Structure 1
Amino acid sequence: MNLPNKITLARIFLVPVVMFFLLVRFNLGQFQFGQGVITVSEIIAALIFILAAVTDGLDGYIARKRKLVTNLGKLLDPLADKLLISAALISLVEMQRLDAWVAIVIISREFAVTGLRMIAAAEGQVIAASPWGKLKTIVQIVAIVALMINNFPFSSFAFPFAGIITWAAVIITVWSGVDYFIKNWKVIRFSKHR
């Protein structure tokens, strides 16, 4: 197994670690800031999540630079991304920091675009990541981290950054999904496997 695939697998293995630190209540201490509270375990979870998110770009970069792109990598990379984002969103719903409908909208978009890519692959076509898709990923990551750390440090001066960036993530996620389907409608329309 090559290095990029090992990095992708590491990202998958970090998913339960993030959930563990978010959902299991430890007495590692907490910090009070303004009207908010953040626990040490939430900070650890956010740092691990950021590390996992950074590996997303790293494995692809190494695979392309060293010409190590494999079919296994093509399968594992999007799977790892969806597992990481979905697990984080579901954990935040469990923590009552995120409305369930937001998680459903974001996860549904991910499955819909994955389905579109699978249809395209069956037709021998590749749907490349769009600029909207890349922006969507960045905004989702920022929103998830902001929610994990309970809007720190913005709660200190009552600025709802986590709420604003979450709304931005929903809007960009929906728009990027619509954009994929508009630009690739011919893949579905002319699919031999209808």
Structure 2
Amino acid sequence: MSGPGRTKLTVMNTKTPIPPERSAPLLNVANALTVLRLILVPVFVWLMLQPGDPIRLVATAVFIVAAITDRLDGQLARSRNLITSFGKIADPIADKALTLSAFILLSVDGRLWWWVTIVIIARELGITLLRFIMLRRAVMAASRGGKLKTTLQMIGIIGLLTPWALFLPDALATVLTALAYAAIGAALVVTVVTGVDYVLQARRIARAEEAA
């Protein structure tokens, strides 16, 4: 074998092998928080269906705990590389189950207009389905508007769920309730606007794929 051939063989043998990409285990803290949120949803619904302001306050506390897990599991999954296929599917399902059940229960209780709940449900379920469909083409990450929408929804829901008159003067309770309605109104606007933006984004991705 000639000299150049031996040199080429040596170079090929000294290449450092690329380690395989590590996948996150299914049993991890982020997924555990997602499952906990799924469990808390029926607990929240059951508590909300019970009479009395004290039990409603407990239901509000359960909702707040579940909402906190929604924020924590996403942060942990990204920061510790714990993203799994289960988490990608279960997390949005748990998120929508929590918020949409709260909107429905508020409407059933007469604290929120049904048309507001219906618009929000149609948008949330429609965009969630759209994002699942678009996964075959591209990942449609949550936008800043989407995060603002979620924050406003949570503020409004907690404000309407909490029986303020149970532990605050009537005047202050009225102000806080009014602020909660204002948050719901802002959330409704952002919900519709971001929904339209997701649809336009999906159309751009589809057209770009067709052109390619």
For the superposition of Structure 1 and Structure 2, which TM-score range results when normalised by the shorter chain? 0.7 to 0.9
The aligned counterpart of 1:50 is 64
The aligned counterpart of 2:29 is 3
The aligned counterpart of 1:62 is 76
Residue identity opposite 1:144 in structure 2:
I
- Structure with more strand by fraction: 1
Distance 2:191 2:206 in 1: 21
- Larger Rg, first or second structure (1 or 2): 2
The aligned counterpart of 2:40 is 14
Secondary structure at 2:135 match in 1: helix
Is structure 2 residue 157 aligned with structure 1 residue 139? no
Q: Deviations over 1:1-41 (max 9, x none)?
A: 22111110100110011111111125xxxxxxxxxxxx111
Q: Deviations over 1:142-169 (max 9, x none)?
A: 1101111156659524432222111111
The aligned counterpart of 2:21 is none
Task: Give the superposition deviation at 1:183.
Answer: 2.7
Task: Give the superposition deviation at 1:188.
Answer: 4.5
Tell me, yes or no, if the aligned pair for 2:160 and 2:180 is still in contact at 8 Å. Answer: yes
Indicate the RMSD between aligned Cα atoms, in angstroms.
1.9
Alignment of 1:1-194 (within 5 A): 1-25=27-51, 39-123=53-137, 125-150=138-163, 156-157=171-172, 158-159=174-175, 160-189=178-207
Distance 2:209 2:38 in 1: 32
After superposing the two structures, state which structure 1 stretch, 145-154 or 156-165, moved more: 145-154
Task: Give the superposition deviation at 1:111.
Answer: 1.2
Secondary structure at 1:96 match in 2: coil
- Structure with more helix by fraction: 2
Tell me, yes or no, if the aligned pair for 2:152 and 2:186 is still in contact at 8 Å. Answer: yes
Length-normalised TM-score, structure 1? 0.85
Tell me, yes or no, if the aligned pair for 1:88 and 1:144 is still in contact at 8 Å. Answer: yes
Runs of 4+ residues over 4 Å off in structure 1:
150-155, 188-192
Length-normalised TM-score, structure 2? 0.78
Tell me, yes or no, if the aligned pair for 2:149 and 2:191 is still in contact at 8 Å. Answer: yes
What is the aligned length? 179
Tell me, yes or no, if the aligned pair for 1:42 and 1:149 is still in contact at 8 Å. Answer: yes
> What stretches of structure 1 of length at least 5 have no aligned partner?
27-38
Tell me, yes or no, if the aligned pair for 2:60 and 2:162 is still in contact at 8 Å. Answer: yes
Tell me, yes or no, if the aligned pair for 1:116 and 1:188 is still in contact at 8 Å. Answer: no
Distance 1:151 1:135, change over 3 A: farther
| Structure with more relative contact order (C-alpha pairs < 8 Å, separation 6 or more) | 1
Q: Percent identity?
A: 40
